[in-house]
């Protein structure tokens, strides 16, 4: 049965009431037509259960905006959704992403995450001795090839999906592909992201990935709290300080908490940002496969005009690339090898739902 607007319907009962499914839910393509965002393609997904997501086709097939019942949940920067042709990753000494970063989900990778770095490139053959890696890699500002969108009924349940392929390649270098599928169940308040990263080249290639999941006002405000997964180590003062959020302050600076999460019996990890005072109580839960993404860090900057908290599952701990290389902690994908990542974003609304989250 489909739950919509406080009622339950069979497929036949619902379709008898509407001319087409887009009246209540679905996927609608669009593009911006002015300013630095001009010509950037996107897909608007609506579950019919209050959840809306804007998928940025031309920006790595990432999620630009996330809303629930009209309430914005995602962080937005001063940059806006700049067209990828304006992005220069190597400017600002490799920190060019700081001029383009924006939105709820920014995928970092596919061969580097975190600060700009240089590394050996001998694995690609004799033509290149070193490789340059800009801040958080290149994939988030690369346009995707739009593969498909659709709706699939299974008896009385309907699932929407959209799919895109993003390729990162260089002569005498890497050829990596990210195939992303985003799914949303009709009437639900959650979406699932399934990523397949494949070495489409002919030489072993380094691979790193980090999901920069960025949340902002009004979800992130003074009443908000962070529910972290159980850690393998002792509780620290730094961890405790991240649980409670504050109002923006001119004295605020970058803060990073590295978490060593203990996965649940299903091998997954959940992190939740809760605001009990927002519309009677609202929370966003991030749930992901910890085997593929064993590292987790939380980043926040509560300064004026920033006011952002990011949940960041990753393939690697927060170390410099040179240190990871020396310790053998950079994964190489063999030609044709593939790795799958799975994340779910779920919205919980109301005091009772928030209380159940705290008890879990």
Please give the helix or strand (H or E) that residue 39 lies within, else none. Answer: none
Q: How far apart are CA 31 and CA 28, in angstroms?
A: 10
Q: Say which residue the tokens 């997954």 belong to.
A: 268
Q: How far apart are CA 94 and CA 115, in angstroms?
A: 8
- Would you state the structure tokens that stand for residue 31, as one six-digit string? 């593009």
- Would you state the structure tokens that stand for residue 355, as one six-digit string? 């209380």
Q: What is the pTM of this model?
A: 0.97
Among left, alpha and beta (phi > 0; psi -120 to 50; other), residue 141 is alpha
Q: Which fold has domain 2-359?
A: Beta-galactosidase; Chain A, domain 5 (2.70.98)
Q: What angle is formed at CA 328 by the lines to CA 142 and CA 101, rounded to 5 degrees?
A: 25
The residue ranges of DSSP E strands in 136-174, in sequence order, are 145-154, 157-169
Strands 157-169 and 130-133: unpaired
Closest CA to 124 of 197, 204, 198: 204
β-pair partners for 341: 195
pLDDT of 238 reads 86
267: Cβ contacts below 8 Å, ≥ 6 apart: 289, 290, 291
pLDDT in tens, the chain (360 residues): 899 999 999 999 999 999 999 999 999 999 999 999 999 999 999 999 999 999 999 999 999 999 999 999 999 999 999 999 999 999 999 999 999 999 999 999 999 999 999 999 999 999 999 999 999 999 999 999 999 999 999 999 999 999 999 999 999 999 999 999 999 999 999 999 999 999 999 999 999 999 999 999 999 999 999 999 988 766 788 899 999 999 999 999 999 999 999 999 999 999 999 999 999 999 999 999 999 999 999 999 999 999 999 999 999 999 999 999 999 999 999 999 999 999 999 999 999 999 999 887
C-beta separation of 148 from 160 below 8 A: no
The structural domains of the chain, with segments of one domain joined by +, span 2-359
Closest CA to 264 of 288, 239, 295, 292: 288
Q: Say which residue the tokens 């009677």 belong to.
A: 280
pLDDT of 360 reads 77
């Amino acid at each position: 049965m489909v739950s919509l607007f406080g009622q339950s319907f069979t497929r036949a009962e619902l379709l008898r009431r509407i001319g087409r499914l887009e009246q209540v839910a679905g996927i609608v393509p669009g593009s911006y037509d002015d300013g630095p965002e001009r010509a950037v393609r996107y897909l608007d997904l609506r579950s019919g259960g209050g959840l809306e997501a804007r998928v940025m086709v031309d920006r790595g097939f990432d999620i630009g905006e996330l809303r629930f019942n009209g309430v914005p949940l995602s962080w937005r920067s001063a940059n806006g959704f700049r067209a990828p042709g304006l992005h220069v990753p190597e400017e600002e000494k490799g920190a060019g992403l700081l001029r383009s970063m924006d939105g709820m989900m920014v995928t970092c990778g596919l061969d580097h995450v975190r600060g700009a770095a240089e590394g050996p490139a001998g694995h690609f053959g004799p033509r290149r001795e070193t490789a340059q890696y800009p801040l958080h890699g290149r994939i988030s500002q690369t346009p995707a090839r739009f593969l498909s969108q659709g709706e699939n009924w299974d008896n009385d349940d309907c699932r929407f999906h959209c799919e895109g392929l993003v390729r990162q390649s260089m002569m005498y270098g890497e050829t990596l592909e990210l195939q992303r599928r985003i799914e949303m169940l009709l009437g639900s308040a959650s979406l699932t992201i399934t990523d397949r990263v494949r070495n489409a080249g002919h030489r072993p290639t380094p691979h790193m990935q980090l999901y920069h999941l960025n949340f902002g006002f009004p979800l992130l405000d003074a009443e908000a709290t962070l529910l972290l997964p159980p850690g393998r180590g002792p509780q620290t003062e730094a961890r405790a300080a991240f649980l409670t959020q504050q109002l923006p302050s001119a004295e605020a600076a970058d803060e990073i908490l590295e978490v060593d999460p203990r996965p649940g019996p299903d091998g997954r990890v959940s992190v939740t940002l809760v605001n009990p005072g927002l519309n009677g109580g609202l929370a966003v839960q991030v749930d992901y496969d910890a085997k593929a993404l064993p590292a987790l860090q939380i980043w926040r900057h509560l300064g004026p005009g920033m006011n952002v908290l990011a949940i960041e599952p990753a393939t690697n701990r927060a170390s410099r690339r040179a240190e990871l290389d020396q310790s053998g902690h950079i994964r190489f994908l063999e030609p044709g090898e593939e790795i799958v990542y799975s994340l779910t974003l779920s919205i919980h609304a109301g005091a009772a739902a928030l209380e159940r989250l705290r008890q879990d």
